[in-house]
């Protein structure tokens, strides 16, 4: 594990696969079956159950529990105390481990502090979930959602700049990073050539 930093207060199963340059800070727990990519950062008190997957350059802030069957693709940001569930109808006296639902957070997405993501949902590429929101359904690529339950309030660029609402077939160029978009068929489509998104 080249250039991997694991704070001595953290417990990481020896079978966990960890990519180069990843940092695991104080009081984290990472269980067997977890895969962590390169250049990730797990802040204080992060818990990763088995059967979780983290891509490269994933940042998870303090006090986050990532349960089984959650996958975070490259460049995902998870804010402090965000919550992921893994079963829709939990009961203490009725085990439902065989009913866990997968949750996918796609490349570049951001989930704000204290947000809750209900299992079985997909957060699209470069989407942004506002702090304190409760996500109960899929979020489209570049979608900006917030509220309880979370609803869409516009769009955000890959760099995080607010795009807002767009008229059908409208085009937009981000003033910060220069990415170009077209709003068509209810989705935001990247127009730049040769971009890997």
Q: What is the pLDDT of residues 155-170, one digit of tens each?
A: 999 999 999 888 889 9
pLDDT of res. 166: 87
Instruction: Decide: pTM greater than 0.75.
Output: yes
**Backbone CA torsion sign across 75, 81, 85, 88:** negative
What is the DSSP secondary-structure string of 36-77? E-TT-EE-TT-EE-SS-EE-TT-EE-SS-EE-TTEEE-TT-E
* Apex 140 CA angle, 68 and 100, nearest 5: 20
- Contacting residues for 167 by C-beta, under 8 A, at least 6 apart: 183
Share the mean pLDDT of the chain: 94
149 preceded by a cis bond (ω within 30 of 0): yes
pLDDT digits (tens, 9 = 90+) for 115-173: 999 999 999 999 999 999 999 999 999 999 999 999 999 999 999 999 988 888 999 99
- The residues with which 171 forms a beta bridge, in sequence order, are 182
Does the structure show a pLDDT above 90 at 17? yes
Using DSSP's 3-state secondary structure scheme, residue 154 falls into strand
With 0-12 CB in 10 A as exposed, 13-18 as middle and 19+ as buried, what is 95?
A: exposed
Q: Is the pLDDT of residue 2 over 80?
A: no
Cα–Cα distance measured from residue 81 to residue 150, given in angstroms and rounded to the nearest whole number: 17
């Amino acid at each position: 594990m080249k250039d991997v930093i694991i704070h001595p207060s953290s417990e990481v199963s020896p079978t966990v696969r960890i990519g180069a340059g990843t940092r695991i800070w104080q009081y984290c727990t990472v269980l067997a079956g977890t895969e962590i990519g390169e250049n990730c950062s797990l802040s204080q008190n992060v818990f990763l159950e088995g059967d979780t997957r983290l891509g490269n350059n994933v940042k998870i802030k303090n006090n986050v529990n990532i349960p089984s069957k959650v996958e975070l693709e490259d460049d995902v940001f998870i804010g402090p105390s965000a919550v992921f569930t893994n079963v829709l109808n939990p009961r203490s006296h009725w085990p439902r481990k065989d009913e866990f639902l997968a949750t996918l957070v796609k490349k570049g997405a951001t989930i704000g502090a204290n947000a809750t993501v209900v299992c079985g949902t997909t957060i699209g590429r470069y989407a942004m979930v506002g702090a304190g929101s409760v996500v109960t359904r899929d979020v489209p690529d570049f979608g900006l959602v917030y509220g309880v339950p979370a609803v869409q309030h516009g769009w955000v660029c890959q760099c995080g700049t607010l795009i807002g609402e767009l008229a059908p077939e409208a085009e937009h160029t981000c003033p910060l990073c220069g990415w170009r978009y077209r709003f068509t068929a209810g989705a935001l489509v990247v127009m730049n050539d040769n971009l890997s998104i």
